Amino acid sequence: MQRISFFIIFLLSTTMAMKQKTIREILRKPRPHWVGDGFHVFPVFADKAFTKELSPFLMFDYASPKHFPKTSKRLGVGQHPHRGFETVSIAFHGEIEHADNQGNRGVIKEGEVQWMTAARGIVHEEFHSTQFAKKGGLFEMCQLWVNLPAKHKMSPPRYQPITKSQIQETPLVPATGTTCTDDNSNDGTVRIIAGEFNGVKGPAETFTPVNMWDVNISTVDKLFEFDIISGHNTLVFVRRGAIDVQGSSLTLADVAILSLEGDKFFVEAKEKDTQLLILSGEPIDEPIANRGPFVMNTQEELVQAMRDYSAGRFT
């Protein structure tokens, strides 16, 4: 009887192991560059940007914490167009001021998110906010480009300003077999920007299934579990501290690309107050054609996008 019990436990543990995602590739911290004069960013995806390997995610720029002195100048990027995808801007420190030709204006403050659907066409600008520029201070943000399926690329533009209070925060989930407490929030938390984590849903409306989790891990050397739908492209990015994920070590601005197969993975922080951005999404199985600020399915559609923008049809 005892031998049978051990055999059952062995089978269960083996089955659970088979369900885990594995590391497909690790992209190490790339060299940073300037976008305009306000955003000093790591191009996180490097040569994987705009490939099906990371679909539905196209590009990821991360501006690590940097102090800007007070100034009367407008620091950022002036008016420029987009078509065929969405931009997601997250302000971790400092403020970003946005304006577009659809009449949307706003300031993305610390802890807030702007989810902008360019779709058939939008022209916008992004700068440090006027108030932030006057005072100066610490600035940290990221911007992700998320693809749209062909059927939505020519939908009307949409603007989702997501405030800090709209983003629910929930405790981390300790791995089975680790010590649990009545309040696991002491271990750290997950802010759900999009998708769902442990039954808690994020406020962002998406065209395809996407998870976007802002993770803070306070406790060192404790294993935490993250459940992800099998078949999703999954990325684990370190914005502060260091982790072990599925047996591999990551530090600042590294990103782990996980396997499509498997429905869970495990993370252990190696430094206190480690911060991550975890992304997952259902791949869009369509061709990707990109040029500058446009992402379509064919070269012909890119040419049409440039013609439409030049003719003033992004209205």
Q: Tell me, what's the pLDDT at 5?
A: 41
pLDDT of residue 315: 80
The per-residue pLDDT for 9 is 38
Measured CA to CA in angstroms, residue 90 lies from 6, 28, 160, 275 at distances of 48, 22, 12, 14
pLDDT value for 1: 44
Provide the residue type at 76 as one letter.
G
pLDDT score of 115: 98
Beta bridge partners of 114: 89, 161
What is residue 2's predicted lDDT score, i.e. its pLDDT? 44
pTM: 0.92
Q: What is the pLDDT of residue 6?
A: 40
Predicted pLDDT at 15: 43
Per-residue confidence of the chain (315 residues) as pLDDT tens digits?
444 444 333 434 444 455 899 999 999 999 999 999 999 999 999 999 999 999 999 999 999 999 999 999 999 999 999 999 999 999 999 999 999 999 999 999 999 999 999 999 999 999 999 999 999 999 999 999 999 999 999 999 999 999 999 999 999 999 986 655 556 668 999 999 999 999 999 999 999 999 999 999 999 999 999 999 999 999 999 999 999 999 999 999 999 999 999 999 999 999 999 999 999 999 999 999 999 999 999 999 999 999 999 999 998
Q: What is the pLDDT of residues 138-194, one digit of tens each?
A: 999 999 999 999 999 999 999 999 999 999 999 999 998 665 555 666 899 999 999
Q: What is the pLDDT of residue 3?
A: 44
